[in-house]
Chains A and B, each alone.
Chain A
Amino acid sequence: MTDLRAARRDLDAALGAQAVHSDPLAVKLYARDASLVEGSAGLVAFPQSTEDVVTCMRIARDHGMPVVPRGSGTGLAGGATPLDDALVVVTTKMNRILEVRPEDRLAWVEPGVFNLDLANALEPTGFTYAPDPSSQQVSSIGGNVNTNAGGPHCLAYGVTSAHVLALDVVLPDGTTARIGAEGPAAAGYDLRGIVVGSEGTLGIVTAACVRLTPIAPAVRTMLLDFAQVEDCAATVSSIVARGVVPAALEMMDRGIVRAVENFAHAGYPTDAAAVLLVELDGLEGAVAAQSRQVEAAAREHGVGTVRVAADAIERALLSKGRKSAFGAIAQIAPHYHLHDCVVPRTRLTEVLTGVYAIARRHDLIVTNVFHAGDGNLHPLFSFDLTVPGTLERVLAAADEVVRLCVDAGGALSGEHGIGLEKRDFMPLVFTDEDLAAQACVRVAFDPDGRMNPQKVLPGGARCGDFAAAALARADQLPEGTWI
């Protein structure tokens, strides 16, 4: 059992008392992220520098405390929910943009910088940071890196991993290292690629070198409405089949459109069964040609109206509707549970139909707003937790949604991660041997298992004996030699 008072004393001495919190309110606030799971925080530390993070790691090690890194806490899978009185290391005070180098198409930022603040800061250079999760106003780059965050624009530009060139990390033993490279290739195995999306289980990111993407000279936003959900989903495949890769291709069903329209007043058609929000970008010649293809694809599937945003103001209004969806649904019921799974694009219609049936069976309200182009579904159950038995119904429905997506050939998570929420579903998609190999990589970074324990991998996943023995032997090898 950790002596929290002793750990607190050491942290106070090293970081200053104002950077460490252990009062009941702070401990309660940091006991959860944006998921439904509540854990328990022992201490909460707010480092201001890489050295502070190193100090946190060393003190946690000395006192045998688990460490849970946390950005803004917008994660939806419980990845930043501390368990067992962990030390929560909150990186939001490390929020400087360190360096912007348009000539090298890169920028160095601290983990606490908000995603949208980075994009806004870059704008005058003619470049942007492409990944744009819906939480971008408040979610931090460090959190984005750890969940390999997505967003509407990942269809054309790729997810966070494609935009992270290098990372400065602090390992559980307090070692610091730079992994990846500013240039287009790095030495050794791609540790950067493993740390991105590792949900705080391998180390703490203290700086990220991100790729800058040129801002497209032309953008066109189109809103298509359909009387049938099936036609809307079929249009998605049809657009792709025509060789068009929109910058974003977002689908919203009637329930969410009504909630959003009440809130954003963007002129969304509230009588349609579903709408598609299509954003095209690039050079004017490409945008014009692609919008003709999109319109033709929509007409093939009985589109109602095709609305093209006339100017930047209308464009912003339409995308505001999309981005405010998760706030707007508060009108439906006080609580919500947002799912995240990916299916092959061509199975969207049947999976959506299945989601509606699951909601009906469990007497829940479900609305859908999601990255249709990526096949990334976000069924959103709305409910009132004060009604007895509700949580059980929500979790039962969630379980069925996950199985439905996996049965359709999908993945457990497209962009939110596994965390605690989906940890026990991992055996649905991976064999014991697959999970054991993943466990080996985790052990390679964190032999003592102190980084964000009990997350991502299910309880039984262990690096196999033969591999574990070799791994331990590797530490004894003389420098310059390998097994």
Chain B
Amino acid sequence: MDLIHPHTASDVSDAMRAASADGTRLRVIGGRQHLGAAPDVDAEVWTTLLDRAIAYDPAEMLCVVEAGMRLADLRKMLAEGGQEWPVDEPDDATVGGAISAGVALTRQLRVGQLRDTVVEMEFVTGDGRRIRSGARTVKNVTGYDLHRLLTGAHGTLGVITQVALKLRPLPKTARTLMTRQGGLGLAARLLDAIPLPAAVIAGHDRVLVRLEGWPGEVAEQAKAANEVAVMADDDPAAWPAPAFPDAPFLVQAAIVPSRLEPLLEGTKRFRALMGVGFAWIPCDDEESVGLVRDRAISLGGVVSLQRGAAGSVGAAPPLPAIQKRIKAAFDPAGVLPAPVVVP
């Protein structure tokens, strides 16, 4: 297999144009943290050399970086400005990889969704066209937000080369509280009792509560939490919540919060993001992955695989004709993988 290491967006454009002319099938690789099942490809485009910071002024609460920048480097740069991009993915993940994977933000209750943090994007289409959409401002209604299509598209529409990200101030203080017992019921009571938490994560064996903000506010929240349950405090290893590192397969389900209970009924090990509706379920084999998938879809949810390759896991998207036309318009020669869809 050929490996392509572009240094610039123009290199990416050359590579894509050549691939489209030759019919080379490509796959875009970032930090290898969110890769699903490997499609059958002839070459890989590694974006990790596209890792420059283009602009960062803390007063704008925006930064512009190339897509191959590792999250560790981004975190370091932003911390110097007292800010963060609120994505709790591994240090080795790249900005572009996290965006392509459309990762869940564990602190969504407080920080919103990933898709709303990307305000401008430069990308290269399957046939080598260099496109920009959005603007380097926090608000913008100027034409169609093409970057929203690339966010969560798993590299099927083009190669993201550069993004402008909406940032947040780093919280002045943060605490992670933990119960000694688990369950959705206890977690639901904590979610109700604590005003504006960053996250309440239910597990089979414990409930994690993440509190962030100004010291007075976090103290207020911790007090409310302790009125519901005895909470152990501030285990530095507890955040971000570790996700079953021993399991060969990790399924992420997305469902309305009120259906977490039927989704997880009888599940031995799980984590669930309360008030949001993400659940993470470790599986030992493909068969159990399929069972979780079927149950989630029957409850109106969608699933994706966070770890392991188990054939296709997904759900049928709406308006398949429009989805197909969009894929065709951005990748006319079909050099990038097709989206994974389970009917």
Instruction: List chain A positions with a Cβ less than 8 A from chain B.
Output: 101, 103-106, 147-148, 150, 154-155, 158-159, 161-162, 171, 175, 177-179, 181-191, 193-194, 197-198, 214, 216-217, 237, 240-241, 243-245, 282-286, 288-290, 342-346, 371, 374-376, 409-418, 422, 426, 429-431, 433-435, 437-438, 440-445, 456-457, 463-464, 466-471, 473-475, 477, 479-483
B48 CB-CB contact with A under 8 Å? no
Our pick among A178, A183, A483 for the contact of B324 (Cβ within 8 Å) is A483
On whether the beta carbons of A475 and B325 are closer than 8 Å, the reply is: yes
In the bound complex, what is the Cα–Cα distance between A147 and B157 (angstroms)?
A: 25
Cβ of A3 to closest chain B Cβ, rounded Å: 30
Residues of A within 8 A of B275 (CB): 105
B77 CB-CB contact with A under 8 Å? no
Q: How large is the interface on B (under 10, 10 to 19, 20 to 34, 35 or more residues)?
A: 35 or more
Nearest chain-B residue to A444 (Cβ)? B325
Residues of A within 8 A of B278 (CB): 184-185
In the bound complex, what is the Cα–Cα distance between A410 and B277 (angstroms)?
A: 36
B38 CB-CB contact with A under 8 Å? no
On whether the beta carbons of A284 and B131 are closer than 8 Å, the reply is: no
| CB contact under 8 A between A185 and B104, given known A245-B168, A426-B142, A444-B329 | yes
On whether the beta carbons of B217 and A189 are closer than 8 Å, the reply is: no
On whether the beta carbons of B135 and A283 are closer than 8 Å, the reply is: no
On whether the beta carbons of B331 and A483 are closer than 8 Å, the reply is: yes
On whether the beta carbons of B319 and A179 are closer than 8 Å, the reply is: yes
B323 CB-CB contact with A under 8 Å? yes
B256 CB-CB contact with A under 8 Å? yes
Our pick among B131, B221, B318, B330 for the contact of A433 (Cβ within 8 Å) is B131
Q: Please provide the 3 A-B residue pairs with the shortest distance between their CB atoms, ordered closest to farther.
A: A188-B317, A285-B216, A193-B148
Our pick among A184, A197, A413, A475 for the contact of B254 (Cβ within 8 Å) is A184
Residues of A within 8 A of B195 (CB): 214, 217, 283
6 contacts between A and B (CB under 8 A): A183-B255, A183-B300, A187-B314, A283-B220, A344-B137, A470-B328
Nearest chain-A residue to B139 (Cβ)? A414
Cβ of A327 to closest chain B Cβ, rounded Å: 23
Our pick among B143, B196, B301 for the contact of A456 (Cβ within 8 Å) is B143
Beyond A103-B258, A187-B302, A243-B82, 8 additional contacts (C-beta under 8 Å) are A104-B258, A158-B116, A182-B300, A282-B196, A289-B217, A409-B137, A437-B330, A443-B325
Cβ of B144 to closest chain A Cβ, rounded Å: 4
Cβ of A284 to closest chain B Cβ, rounded Å: 7
In the bound complex, what is the Cα–Cα distance between A147 and B82 (angstroms)?
A: 33
Our pick among A181, A216, A471 for the contact of B302 (Cβ within 8 Å) is A181
| CB contact under 8 A between A193 and B149, given known A414-B139, A415-B141, A482-B327 | yes
| CB contact under 8 A between A245 and B137, given known A158-B112, A288-B216 | no
B291 CB-CB contact with A under 8 Å? no
B138 CB-CB contact with A under 8 Å? yes
On whether the beta carbons of A179 and B318 are closer than 8 Å, the reply is: yes
On whether the beta carbons of B255 and A376 are closer than 8 Å, the reply is: no
On whether the beta carbons of B328 and A483 are closer than 8 Å, the reply is: yes
Cβ of B24 to closest chain A Cβ, rounded Å: 15
Our pick among A161, A371, A471 for the contact of B116 (Cβ within 8 Å) is A161
On whether the beta carbons of B137 and A159 are closer than 8 Å, the reply is: no
On whether the beta carbons of B143 and A185 are closer than 8 Å, the reply is: no
| CB contact under 8 A between A162 and B329, given known A101-B258, A243-B172 | no
B230 CB-CB contact with A under 8 Å? no
On whether the beta carbons of B130 and A410 are closer than 8 Å, the reply is: no
| CB contact under 8 A between A437 and B214, given known A181-B302, A187-B317, A471-B325 | no
Our pick among B196, B219, B324, B326 for the contact of A216 (Cβ within 8 Å) is B196
Residues of A within 8 A of B283 (CB): none
Nearest chain-B residue to A239 (Cβ)? B59
In the bound complex, what is the Cα–Cα distance between A445 and B145 (angstroms)?
A: 14
Task: Give 1 or 0 for each of B213-225: 1 = CB within 8 Å of chain A CB.
Answer: 1111111110000
Nearest chain-B residue to A106 (Cβ)? B256
On whether the beta carbons of B131 and A345 are closer than 8 Å, the reply is: no
Residues of A within 8 A of B326 (CB): 189, 440-441, 444
B153 CB-CB contact with A under 8 Å? yes
On whether the beta carbons of B338 and A445 are closer than 8 Å, the reply is: no
